[in-house]
Structure 1
Amino acid sequence: MKLLTKVLAVVLFSISLQAAAQNSDAVKMKTFIDVLMKKMTLDEKLGQLNLPGAGDIVTGQASNSDIGKKIREGKVGGLFNIKSVAKIKAVQKVAVEESRLKIPMIFGMDVIHGYQTTFPIPLGMSCIWDMNLVEKAARVAATEASADGICWTFSPMVDISRDPRWGRISEGNGEDAYLGSRIAAAMVKGYQGNDLSKNNTIMSCVKHYAMYGAAEAGRDYNTTDMSRVRMYNEYLPPYKAAVDAGVGSVMASFNEVDGIPATANKFLMTDVLRNQWGFKGFVVTDYTGINEMEAHGIGDLQQVSALALKAGVDMDMVGEGFLTTLKKSLEEKKVTQQQIDVACRLVLEAKYKLGLFEDPYKYCNEQRAATEIFTPANRKVAREIAGESFVLLKNNGGLLPLKKSATIALIGPLADAKENMPGTWSVATDFSTPISVLQGLKSAVGNQGKVLYAKGSNLDADSMIEERGTMFGKSLHRDRRPKEVILKEALDIASQADVVVAAVGESSEMSGESASRSDIGIPKLQQELLEALLKTGKPVVLVLFAGRPLTLTWENEHVPAILDVWFSGTEAGDAIADVLFGDVNPSGKLSTTFPQNIGQVPLYYNHKNTGRPLPEGQWFQKFRSNYLDVSNDPLYPFGYGLSYTSFSYSDITLSSKTIKGNQSITATVTVTNAGNRAGKEVVQLYTRDLVGSITRPVKELKGFQKITLAAGESKKVTFTISNADLKFYNSDLKYVAEPGDFKLFIGGNSRDVKEADFKYQL
């Protein structure tokens, strides 16, 4: 007992020392910024709120550029989309050596899923269900970006989306608030580390706040309208998780909420973000977000700039509304000096926390730039993570894994398309470096077998669609020959092979920003290619490239094996080969539901029942909530993903049938690898609140564990459930756990589960 008391005393003393140190740092920061702000003119304060792009800056001309002139005049707080130590050092030099107050600038970039070493697109990353790997990817990205002068990333993007028509679903973590929250926290920790003042950490910016992923009709930038109950329970949690993890900044979204654009929405930016969640960092707009409120119809540039500032926005990206109108609004008493000062202070605090006042050039180390970017070690991590992100959707007859001794016909417009492998928002990638599927397969096979290649078809029959889907240097090098000639070449290759690998689907820019689709199937020209390949009688493996859930009903019915590889980064080709040949056993699980057809959208696992639910297992019943022409079921449910082995689950054992007050219970299952090779399984825990003061979802993810089992091995997996796991926001927006009956589900996806019942009592 005495020993325990001593240990507790040491822990408490350590905590008190940390708290004292943090308080001391906060006092030092406040004192420093107080002194600085007393020296600043109004124009210089407004300058700190201005974030232009770095469009006209080239090496050696920073001082003479238009932006260079503004920096010298104290009219720029930071820049984004500028990279390389040489450029950033030159621009920073103007700020700290040629401006009056020598205030350093902050440099941001869209480091979304890696820097030069590119990882899977975020939607693919979310299918890993391993927070250690998610954090590791963000850590590598932060190390590389900071080595190249960047100290601020506009990531993570945590918008919940249940509409795969929306192109930016590729940038997020899927449809579930719990999984999205876990990933948000892991990414913030990966970027920012434990000490933001270190030169290998960067400030994170969670986006797009808020509800951007719920845009009507899946059309980008569109209106969002939902109840507060839905907001708090289903869409806001990942943003809050990022705030709780200490994220340094928040980006406002483009959409309106409650009829008010998010960029001017005081409820979001002040009431929720600051007053309810306690956020202490700064808020930046998205690209021209303030100016775009004019088109929304709530005022001219001066009016909307004032509205944004009063709502709680601190930094204006590109539009310069703050820079050019707030002085006049202050004179007209439409904004206050205090509002300007608060915004300026928050931007300066971010720079202080990054250590830029102490050393403005701390991210400008040429040695780091030469040795820490796109290293063999980083590429090895990227290859491992890519392989973990793939989801095996179908594998009839154990067609996969393939034998390296086989003759393989690799066919499809994505087969030799290295520029497309990194996917959307890979702005720092050198497109000469990614590994194509063709390169990866040839490297893996070596002299053991043969890899034959033909393109088979273009991406789409419409050249304009292909052009829109291959922007930013990601051309598929369109084949201008007649489609019959291109197809015949592929069929001739297929006739010589033991197996066909068809690399088809979307190109990298068919998803992402402003890449919404009204038809989310594989383009018709590629479907025709698949049909022709299947008619040869050769076994066909579909390697699917996609930035969203696709409608694959026909493919699922006819193609024996389907592996979804998303867009998996610079090491894509090698990682795909690893999985196709069984060197890596696929273990990815879907973070989004795949619909049977576009008419089912939005479709998600944690829906609510209607008053007339369709009985389970039925397709249609008159006067029930269903369709005439398709079942309510998804093609592939949330959490789904196959392996080259199989896993069986025992019944659930509960430590008690009742949770009382603040106590907890445990739920245990035994998971067995029933196959003949080692594999990983994501064991998923769901609950259902059977009776609530408001209607509750049919299932909610509450926990998961990714485990590794050798062939024949069994392992007990235990989850702890407390009243914290049962809480939700009620109609008064109070976060409560209500007493009553609950169901608990454990399984390998949201559909195929074991069940148990328990009660919660106050």
Structure 2
Amino acid sequence: MSTAAVTLPFRDPGLPLAERVEDLLSRLTLEERIAMLHQYSPAIPRLGVAEFRTGTETLHGVSWLGEATTFPQAVGLGATWDEDLVREVAAAISVEQRAFHHHRPPVIGTGRNSLQGWAPVVNLLRDPRWGRNEEGYSEDPLLSARLGTAFCRGMTGDHPTYLRTAPVLKHFLAYNNEDDRCTTSSAIRPRVLHEYDLAAFRPAIATGAATGVMAAYNLVNGRPCHVSPLLEQELRRWAEPTGHELFVVSDAEAPSNLVDPEHYFDDHAASHAAALKAGIDSFTDHGEDSAVTIGRITAALERGLLTQDDIDRAVRRQLSIRFRLGEFDPDLDPYAGIGWDVVNSPAHQALALRAATEQVVLLKNTGLLPLAPERRIAVVGPLACTLFEDWYSGTHPYRFTVSDGLGVEGVEGVDRIVLRTADGQAVTAVGEDGLLVLGPAQDTDAAAQFDLFDLFDWDLGVLTLRSAATGRYASLRDADQRVTANRDQPGDWFVRETFHLEPATDGTEVLRNQFTGRYAQADPATGELTMTADTPEQALRFTRTTVRDGIISAVAAAQAADVTIVVLGNDPHINGRETQDRAGLRLPPQQDRLLREVAAVRPDTVLVVMSSYPYAVNWADQHLPAIVWTSHAGQETGRALAAVLRGDTDATGRLPQTWYRSDDELPAPLDYDIIKAGWTYQYHRTAPLYPFGHGLSYTTFDHGELKLRHTELDADGEITATLTVTNTGTRPGTETVQLYTRHLDARYHAPQLRLAAYRKVRLAAGETTELDFTLPATDALAHWDVATSAFTVHPGRYELITARSAGRPVRSATLTVTGPAPEPRRVLEVPLHAADFDDHENITLVDATPTHGDAVTPVADHGELLFRDVDLTGAGSVALQVSRTAPGTAQLQLRAGDRLLTTVTVPSTGDRHTWTTVLADVTEHQPTGVHDLRVILTGEQRLTTLAFTP
């Protein structure tokens, strides 16, 4: 840095932040400003400005940079229902992120590891089949929002000026499916948008806890999230009172997706201009190569699609974050002195153990747990002796497995096999790298066992093969398509460790790699296995010989014990992860069979589900005495689980999402209308296997009477409720008191229950505590009123319920909200937006224009909208804003109740974004008074507004 640069105003910490940012911005050339819009922002040596990179993954530990403390998956942290704990975990992660920033070079690129943390994920766990279920906290917006805000607070630290790290909320918006995620559209009507999806994001932003947001891959109502007007209309509006703007980043490669595969824009200059103007400040695209992004934005500027002001707005937001992170004040930065010794420190290990312990959920217990110390224990199952990492976990510095935690030798219960060819050769792992070759078959009793493989069956025909000799998994090697048994676990973005053994016509099997889809052959010169055959006919044929039956070995271990712990679940990289949704909720059939056969010989069996998501374990719930769930909870999972199983601590976790039954037909994954489809505990109509908030304890609790200070209040009043909670058992324990609300007189489709507050209390045996809840009615009772486009508390009776879960109410009290009844919806000379319907059949939402507005369109060319309590008095005509892409015409009908008001013809406009006005006279049918207005759309068309005039 030059001497002159040291004395420039932006270096003066005594100046206001905005002045410092503006001074530095003014000194940048246009080319330098454009270059800062890419994820990898280059250094500017003449000003002493360093390189800057947006984003280090920090979801439940510092990821992808090497060994770091690993905490439970986010869904496990959600199961703690503990904001203080989540904040402590985030603080530890951010301290380690600082250590990597100061003391370790990045794995990719140059400069320093980023202090912007791409976490937390506050996308709601609407559908448990979502491949990224492990990354979110809960299906409930209140719980997700509070835990997300706590995580952000832990990341930022408590200094009034400087951030420890800069948390970024992921992924905006309505992103809960992986299959075709870059082209699917989430249809979100206004009530769902405001009451559900936005509600998870708002608190962290409005309180200033979050410093940024990442846009999601998907589209919402037909418009890509990266050009959503909600970035400015909602998110940045919420942030205004904090005095800081959000720094919005794109998801990886999403800017390019706007043209291909989404085809939303004709060219990349136009798409990048639209994204920048919509509010994207940093483009994560083409890895480290910033030239492509720079070229596209430069072209947009030259074509007049952007102005320098558009570029400056984004650069200001980046510079503001960098100043707040202390980059330009190293001597004043309170976090600059963090040393490398914080990474996996004893304090962080203890916190990892505490977090892993508190997220364990006791799903069922008829008295077998806690385990009596004198009873002999067997630990069996494919997850008994391993802890899996996931795509966003850190690298475990050490692992305590379940068998380690319980101090017994585990039996995985998987088959050990030999794969032989017709001429008697066997697949064998040789050398330090475990290269798979064909060689003479070994004596299967020999100690070397180089031709033996443990076969893990993950369902859907997906297998992993682990060499008995090396203890490592077979993996495809990209360079030469050979296979080596050299991987500790399946992993990476592209999983190369999954295979299929598929039947051939002659009774043998062929080996196919799932990643490439190609089959195994043998190099004729060396015998080395290569995955190079394109068809089964070209593939090498194998005969599989099972030398150790996994289920028989598990049953034998169970017979020799008094209690069996069966550990089942998923590998987070297989059959459900980023880019791949789950096919269903069942356990893998081989795991289910193992469980049933073990339980048949040892009825005292505990099922431990270690998973990233819920399973439908109906059979286990009916036949086993105890079931426990844990997420993949990091390096201390085994010790944490053992502490709960042995009763060294109470079971304190509570489910953050509903566990459905196997025979419960779930809505379609792309049906995002939780109200109409019946998603989550708020709207699902069938009793689940385990409800939201469920979790048992080793002690018992009593809730006293729920007392309300006022049983009547105004719509803007405050609810004050108290109750006592007593530990009526003989040992200390934790109760998570959940307070729900319900509208008893709703004129709209109200939730069956809605979480309004919760409190986690730890009580000694016999101890009593009093809990106070003070809630504004506008928070606890309001809904989004489509007639007024605002949150509203309608008058009427409401019920407050204390509960142990959404399925276990304990106490209740009724209050009445006073005030006038809602007025009918006025539509005369007030535009009625088609998306503001009360109900619908076969309707989906689409974009009205590329930049703003929603419209509706029928599914399968026929749909209906319902608008309740519409005052049509004085209406003489109606103007309909419509579009139609196809040639010819479509039909649209308006009905007041059962009375036909008008039928209109919708002409072709040639493009979905080209709108025309169709006028119709309704005076003939005298639509006076208040009616339910029905709009029936037949044929391909779109409708955005209805305007009634006298």
Fold shared per TM-score above 0.5: yes
Residue 375 of structure 1 aligns with an amino acid whose one-letter code is S
Residue 161 of structure 1 aligns with an amino acid whose one-letter code is L
1:401 matches 2:455: no
Report how far residue 49 of structure 1 moved. 0.8
2:27 to 34, 39, 43: 39
SS at match of 1:45: helix
2:695 to 623, 637, 641: 641
Partner residue in 1 for 2:255: 290
Q: CA offsets per residue over residues 362-396 of structure 1, 9 Å max, x none? A: 7997x844311101111101111111101111112
Report how far residue 186 of structure 1 moved. 0.6
Moved more, 669-678 or 525-534: 669-678
Partner residue in 2 for 1:301: 268
Q: Counterparts of 1:38-437 in structure 2 under 5 Å? A: 38-52=26-40, 76=41, 95=43, 98=45, 102-106=49-53, 108-115=55-62, 116-149=68-101, 150-195=114-159, 198=162, 201-213=164-176, 215=177, 222-246=184-208, 247-265=210-228, 267-275=229-237, 277-278=239-240, 280-294=245-259, 295-299=261-265, 300-319=267-286, 320=290, 322-359=293-330, 368-396=338-366, 398-418=367-387, 420=388, 422-426=389-393, 428-429=394-395, 431=396, 433-437=398-402
Moved more, 380-389 or 24-33: 24-33
Does the aligned pair in 2 maintain the 1:182–1:241 contact within 8 Å? yes
Task: Find the aligned partners of 2:195 and 2:14 in 1 and give their Cα distance.
Answer: 33
Gaps of 5+ in 1: 1-23, 53-75, 78-94, 443-450, 613-624
Residue 240 of structure 1 aligns with an amino acid whose one-letter code is R
Partner residue in 1 for 2:934: none
Change (3 A) 1:331 1:219: closer
Report how far residue 484 of structure 1 moved. 5.9
Report how far residue 196 of structure 1 moved. 7.2
Partner residue in 1 for 2:609: 544
Moved more, 401-410 or 497-506: 401-410
Superposition CA RMSD, Å:
3.2
Partner residue in 2 for 1:727: 782
Task: Find the aligned partners of 2:346 and 2:799 in 1 and give their Cα distance.
Answer: 48
Does the aligned pair in 1 maintain the 2:216–2:251 contact within 8 Å? yes
Partner residue in 1 for 2:433: none
Partner residue in 2 for 1:749: 805
Task: Find the aligned partners of 1:417 and 1:454 in 2 and give their Cα distance.
Answer: 11
Residue 33 of structure 2 aligns with an amino acid whose one-letter code is K
Moved more, 680-689 or 491-500: 491-500
Report how far residue 495 of structure 1 moved. 1.5
Does the aligned pair in 2 maintain the 1:248–1:281 contact within 8 Å? yes
What fraction of aligned residue pairs are identical, expressed as a percent?
29
Change (3 A) 1:157 1:483: farther
Does the aligned pair in 2 maintain the 1:673–1:711 contact within 8 Å? yes
SS at match of 2:280: coil
Task: Find the aligned partners of 2:798 and 2:221 in 1 and give their Cα distance.
Answer: 33
Report how far residue 234 of structure 1 moved. 0.8
Does the aligned pair in 2 maintain the 1:196–1:353 contact within 8 Å? no
SS at match of 2:643: helix
Task: Find the aligned partners of 1:168 and 1:134 in 2 and give their Cα distance.
Answer: 19
Task: Find the aligned partners of 1:364 and 1:674 in 2 and give their Cα distance.
Answer: 46
SS at match of 1:127: helix
Change (3 A) 1:512 1:190: farther
Report how far residue 545 of structure 1 moved. 0.9
Residue 304 of structure 2 aligns with an amino acid whose one-letter code is K
Residue 286 of structure 1 aligns with an amino acid whose one-letter code is D
Residue 79 of structure 2 aligns with an amino acid whose one-letter code is C
Change (3 A) 1:476 1:411: farther
Task: Find the aligned partners of 2:735 and 2:199 in 1 and give their Cα distance.
Answer: 26
State the TM-score, normalized to the length of structure 1. Answer: 0.81
Task: Find the aligned partners of 1:46 and 1:546 in 2 and give their Cα distance.
Answer: 44
Does the aligned pair in 2 maintain the 1:608–1:698 contact within 8 Å? no
Task: Find the aligned partners of 2:183 and 2:374 in 1 and give their Cα distance.
Answer: 50
Aligned pairs, how many? 665
Higher-strand-fraction structure: 2
Task: Find the aligned partners of 1:514 and 1:216 in 2 and give their Cα distance.
Answer: 5
Does the aligned pair in 1 maintain the 2:120–2:169 contact within 8 Å? yes
Change (3 A) 1:322 1:693: farther
State the TM-score, normalized to the length of structure 2. Answer: 0.66
Q: CA offsets per residue over residues 535-559 of structure 1, 9 Å max, x none? A: 1134111111111111111221122
Higher-helix-fraction structure: 1
Task: Find the aligned partners of 1:384 and 1:122 in 2 and give their Cα distance.
Answer: 15
Report how far residue 462 of structure 1 moved. 6.0
Partner residue in 1 for 2:550: 486
Residue 297 of structure 1 aligns with an amino acid whose one-letter code is H
Task: Find the aligned partners of 2:224 and 2:735 in 1 and give their Cα distance.
Answer: 42
Partner residue in 1 for 2:631: 566
Partner residue in 2 for 1:759: 816
1:713 matches 2:767: yes
Residue 791 of structure 2 aligns with an amino acid whose one-letter code is Y
Task: Find the aligned partners of 1:39 and 1:760 in 2 and give their Cα distance.
Answer: 58
Partner residue in 2 for 1:455: 412
Residue 116 of structure 2 aligns with an amino acid whose one-letter code is W
Report how far residue 202 of structure 1 moved. 0.5
Partner residue in 1 for 2:427: none
Report how far residue 260 of structure 1 moved. 0.8
Does the aligned pair in 2 maintain the 1:166–1:218 contact within 8 Å? no
Report how far residue 520 of structure 1 moved. 2.0
Partner residue in 2 for 1:20: none
Report how far residue 438 of structure 1 moved. 1.5
Gaps of 5+ in 2: 1-11, 63-67, 102-113, 415-455, 466-474, 476-488, 502-543, 820-950
Task: Find the aligned partners of 1:101 and 1:676 in 2 and give their Cα distance.
Answer: 65
SS at match of 1:33: helix
Higher relative contact order (CA 8 A, sep 6+): 1
Does the aligned pair in 1 maintain the 2:732–2:765 contact within 8 Å? yes
Q: Counterparts of 1:669-680 in structure 2 under 5 Å? A: 669-680=723-734
Residue 384 of structure 1 aligns with an amino acid whose one-letter code is R
Task: Find the aligned partners of 2:94 and 2:183 in 1 and give their Cα distance.
Answer: 28
Task: Find the aligned partners of 2:767 and 2:625 in 1 and give their Cα distance.
Answer: 28
Moved more, 268-277 or 479-488: 479-488
Q: CA offsets per residue over residues 257-304 of structure 1, 9 Å max, x none? A: 121100111x22111222355361211001111111121111222221
Change (3 A) 1:668 1:607: farther
Q: CA offsets per residue over residues 661-702 of structure 1, 9 Å max, x none? A: 544343233333232211100001011123346432111100
1:577 matches 2:575: no
Task: Find the aligned partners of 2:96 and 2:161 in 1 and give their Cα distance.
Answer: 16
Task: Find the aligned partners of 1:594 and 1:113 in 2 and give their Cα distance.
Answer: 23
Report how far residue 406 of structure 1 moved. 2.6
Report how far residue 577 of structure 1 moved. 0.9
Change (3 A) 1:260 1:462: closer
Change (3 A) 1:462 1:745: closer
Partner residue in 2 for 1:591: 656
